[in-house]
Structure 1
Amino acid sequence: MNNSFKYFALLMLLVAMTGCTADDITQAGGTLPDETPMSNIGGILRSERTLSNLIDIDLYEKDAESTEYINYTLTKPATNAVTLKATANETLADAYNERNNLELKTLPTANVRFESSGTLTIAAGKQTSAPIKATISTEGLEVGTLYLLALTVEKAAVDVKAQAEKQALYYRIYIEKKATTIEPNEGEPEDIPELLPNLTSVFYVNTETYQPYIANAFGITAMPPRPQPRKMYSMGNIINLKRATINYDASSQRVMFALGTDLSYVLEHSNKYLRPIQVHDRKICICIENGDQGIGFCNMNATQITDFVRQVKAVVERYNLDGINLWDEDSKYDKAGMPEMNTTSYPMLIKKLREALPDKLLTLVDKGNATEYFYDADKCGGIKVGSYIDYAWHGYVSPTEILQVINPNAEGSTQTYSKYVRKPIAGLDESCYGSVNVPCYNDNDREIRDPSSEIIAKWKTTGNKKSNILVYGNDLIGQEYAGYELATKNMISGYSVPYFMDDGYTWNFDSDTQKPGAIRYTLGKLYEIADNGPDMNPFRKDW
């Protein structure tokens, strides 16, 4: 493992180890066992983040606050409505410190505020309260200090009698100094580079294989004419995480927002896997795909849309995500007994998502029948889809097909640089549409790889470039796959960035050759990805 990655790994390890002398108290999932006579009801205060009652939160010096969600769960349904009040308790934190021979600094109760004044209500016949939000402020806290926060409940119902140790949640909160340097494999530490200007680059990361931090592995070095110095930049303005899908519960007819096991793990440990990326002005979003169950973006009813949006909103807010990317494969709707596709469901879903998440990124992939009618607001139930999204890009990206460059046109007529056609999305400015979606090719597929740079250069030189959005629609990979050792390197610096940038290569049609631009762009490795097996790739998932 290289030094730069070790820096982050050791930092996280230090945070985890500081104050870890006490054993975590793990709470079993499922139905709670009765712990009191049957005439009484037991209960437990729970975090929605994890089943443990000892929770680590890593914040950065410029983070204003952190949000946690808690609920209260009974051992059996309540006979009558139960009301409890959540509070922060410094005395309880001090007792925990003393009991476990720790010296963590107690977080002031003034730094904690609760939604609904901390009221947790369980309706008659129910076992679990609706979650409430606890906001932890960093105001006045010291960087580099580990704090302990204890949350507990004040019981307001005499018939709830529970074990004392199950009435508290303990949070170890560490305020980290924002990392500003990386350590290359050889040489002195360097500043963490800013994002490449005049470009909005989009990456996809599949958490079933990789940590999101793989998006940091590749950068770009810009080399202007001498004697001006070269400069390294980061890429990945938007990082879309997979896999999240649309599932269906036939018995209740609910459309479910389903996070895969690996994506769930990453979100539950967002302080480790996501925050170090977000603090450097990069946006972390979830890519939602159809779940191949016959129901999806294009055939939900109004009730299902409202319910689905509520589920998505809860996840985005709970894990402090930056937005949502919608990617519909319309080939997955042909299932017996399921509603037919229609032209109003998807636009309504997009409108409801924007209303529920007004300050978050909302992007979509334009492909196939799922989005082909978005040019016509009348077909979309009067909704101009482009008025509700931030960006869109075409989804025609394949490692076995030549690179496609698509400029949507009103007629949906033949494209010069693509065999596919798209119409403009109503209400979306052309500067917000990504025309270039870059595949990740096998090292040996030169017949389809080599023409890619020529296509981009010709397209740009003839004035077709209307936006600075460059999309890498195939999932990022390392160098451990046979035949793909150079695939990501070629994808980024071989046939996309140097030709896409305005000051990069253009095309000389007279000589039918490429023409160098003012800036030469080459690969800038921020971290080394070893090519001698998956165990040597520090960005493979580590859970």
Structure 2
Amino acid sequence: MKRYMQLLLATSTVVILLHACAKKNDYNTFDTTQYAASSQQYVYLKNSVNTQNTVVINATVSGSAVTALSNDSLSLYLNTTKPVSGAISGSVVTDESLVTTYNTANKTSYTLLPSAAYTLANNTGLSVAAGASSSSNGALLKLNKAALVQGVQYLLPIKVSAITGSIDISTNQNVVYVAVNVPLANTASTAKPGGYKQILYVEVNDNNPLNALNYNLTNSKTPFFDVVNIFAANINYDNVKQKPYIYFNQQVSAILSNRQKYIVPLQAKGMKVCLALLCNHQGVGFDNFTSATGINDFVQQVKKIVDDYQLDGIDIDDEYAQYGTNGQPAVNDSSLVLLTKRFREVMPNKIISYYYFSDAVSIPKYAQWNGLTVGQYIDYTYQGSYNRYSVPSMPGLTDKSKIGAYSLNLSSPQTSTSFNTNVNTVKTNGYGGTFMWYNLGAADQVTLSNGTKANLSTYFTYVSNLYYGETVTYTNQPYAKDY
């Protein structure tokens, strides 16, 4: 059963690119020159960690202390789009006013990194010699983890200041934003016997994801759901920059920009919160990237979102792409595999799951290439043909505990008799307790297709009894859609 598309209402993610040239036509080879530098000459700011204009540093906490940072320092260099004919020099400075600019553009809520938490040294006299395109010396930012407070997301904008020499400063890459995410110490866990996972999708156009808090195992008080997928961000195409980008509609934007209200309570109970990525009828998706550069650009966009909103991962939903339309390439054999591989490389500790649906052209043919498989890079896959037993065929994923062979549409579930039969088939065939539950609402009682009433907690209890030896209790504290 297909889900309906997201309404296109509001943009929230801005991605910077120097210039994009025309696409190549060899869709099975990876051309790293797909995105070329501008022919105009200007100076921009480059950091030593990545090629983006945002650097995200994640803190590790224990008790009341910040114990480690993913990076405690980085260097910043002046770069030019082509070698300069005469030497230039300049400096970089922090600009606290840009925190508001960033938050407004990205719908985030970062706090200015306090001066006690960093030092910025060697930030003047950065020089680019004649014939060169990068400064030989760099400014050095060092972070002081002792000055960081748990539960705060910090941002430090550093921008190019005065330049001596005849060259313009870039207007869109003259700032590097250093984000420092400090989580709260949290020992809560949803771990249950057997390690099986209950995956919940929530159509945030209709329903509040906080309703996942209503269902807990009766004796242990453990949350029934392990992963909550926010459905969904869209993959759109930017005709000016000639590349795909991530788009949020009004509802998704409201959830992410108010993470303290809608995301943190779930994470505080041990649940993982992920963002589903859904194609959007614009000819682009997961299966038609034509260059390693294009893949990396898209992956960095996604990673930035995961870091900005402190999410626990992503879900790949390869529906509605309409590959080969809108002037876009058809699918190719390598795109999906290399994309998931790159996702895993840049987000090694995040959840990457795959929504397996019959519309997805990537499976199983396009999920394996040159000895690599999608299955070796993802954590779970589950089928989206609701209310029936069907085993996803995902190359490279053989652990049956990570394969969801049954899913239930909670807004229109099948009868409990049919449900119980399907669940028993799942267990008999050894596919464990990894189930996908679609679109939880505020009410426990729902109407079945035959017009009778049923309680969702009864369905959850059947699975919980079978796999965990416990019933599920509904706490009856419904959360309305209030955004």
Query: TM tier, shorter chain?
Result: 0.5 to 0.7
Give 2:388's aligned residue. Answer: 404
The runs of 5 or more residues in structure 1 that have no matched partner are 1-28, 30-46, 50-58, 69-78, 90-105, 122-131, 161-166, 181-191, 222-229, 398-402, 408-421, 505-518, 530-536
Deviation at 1:501, TM superposition (A): 4.6
Aligned-partner SS, 1:478: coil
Alignment partners' CA distance in 1, 2:144 and 2:422:
48
Q: Which digits, 9 at most, give the CA deviation of each residue in 1:518-540, with x for residues without a partner?
A: x4513231x512xxxxxxx4x42
Alignment partners' CA distance in 1, 2:255 and 2:141:
21
Deviation at 1:454, TM superposition (A): 2.5
Alignment partners' CA distance in 1, 2:158 and 2:358:
52
Whether 1:112 aligns to 2:112 is no
How much is the aligned-residue C-alpha RMSD, in angstroms?
5.4
Give 1:430's aligned residue. Answer: 400
Whether 1:439 aligns to 2:409 is yes
Deviation at 1:244, TM superposition (A): 0.8
- Name the larger-Rg structure: 1
Give 1:528's aligned residue. Answer: 477
Alignment partners' CA distance in 2, 1:148 and 1:500:
40
Give 2:200's aligned residue. Answer: 203
Whether 1:467 aligns to 2:467 is no
Matched letter for residue 399 of structure 2: D
Alignment partners' CA distance in 2, 1:82 and 1:193:
52
Alignment partners' CA distance in 1, 2:140 and 2:320:
37
Check the 8 A contact 1:245/1:289 in 2, yes or no. yes
* Alignment size in residue pairs: 383
Deviation at 1:456, TM superposition (A): 3.2
Alignment partners' CA distance in 1, 2:455 and 2:373:
34
Aligned-partner SS, 1:333: coil
Give 1:246's aligned residue. Answer: 235
Give 1:85's aligned residue. Answer: 92
Whether 1:139 aligns to 2:150 is no
Whether 1:218 aligns to 2:220 is no
Deviation at 1:283, TM superposition (A): 1.5
Q: Which 10-residue stretch deviates more, 303-312 or 237-246?
A: 303-312
Whether 1:385 aligns to 2:374 is yes
Give 2:442's aligned residue. Answer: 478
Check the 8 A contact 2:273/2:312 in 1, yes or no. yes
Report percent identity of matched pairs. Answer: 21
Alignment partners' CA distance in 1, 2:124 and 2:206:
39
Give 1:540's aligned residue. Answer: 481
The runs of 5 or more residues in structure 2 that have no matched partner are 1-13, 15-52, 56-60, 72-83, 97-112, 128-138, 169-174
The correspondence of residues 94-243 of structure 1 with structure 2, limited to 5 A, is 109=116, 111-112=117-118, 139=146, 155-157=161-163, 196-198=192-194, 199-221=196-218, 230-243=219-232
Check the 8 A contact 2:90/2:160 in 1, yes or no. no
Aligned-partner SS, 2:233: strand
Matched letter for residue 283 of structure 1: K
Of residues 341, 346, 349, the one that matches 1:351 is 341
Deviation at 1:116, TM superposition (A): 10
Pick closer, same or farther for the CA change 1:157–1:261 going to 2, 3 Å.
farther
Pick closer, same or farther for the CA change 1:335–1:460 going to 2, 3 Å.
closer
Give 1:11's aligned residue. Answer: none
Alignment partners' CA distance in 1, 2:235 and 2:404:
25
Alignment partners' CA distance in 2, 1:354 and 1:147:
24
Pick closer, same or farther for the CA change 1:459–1:481 going to 2, 3 Å.
closer
Deviation at 1:239, TM superposition (A): 1.3
Aligned-partner SS, 2:146: coil
Check the 8 A contact 1:374/1:425 in 2, yes or no. yes
Of residues 274, 289, 297, the one that matches 1:285 is 274
Q: Which has the higher contact order (CA 8 A, sep 6+)?
A: 2
Deviation at 1:325, TM superposition (A): 0.5
Alignment partners' CA distance in 2, 1:426 and 1:460:
20
TM, length-normalised to structure 2: 0.61
Check the 8 A contact 2:190/2:271 in 1, yes or no. no
Of residues 444, 447, 455, the one that matches 2:421 is 455
Check the 8 A contact 2:200/2:229 in 1, yes or no. yes
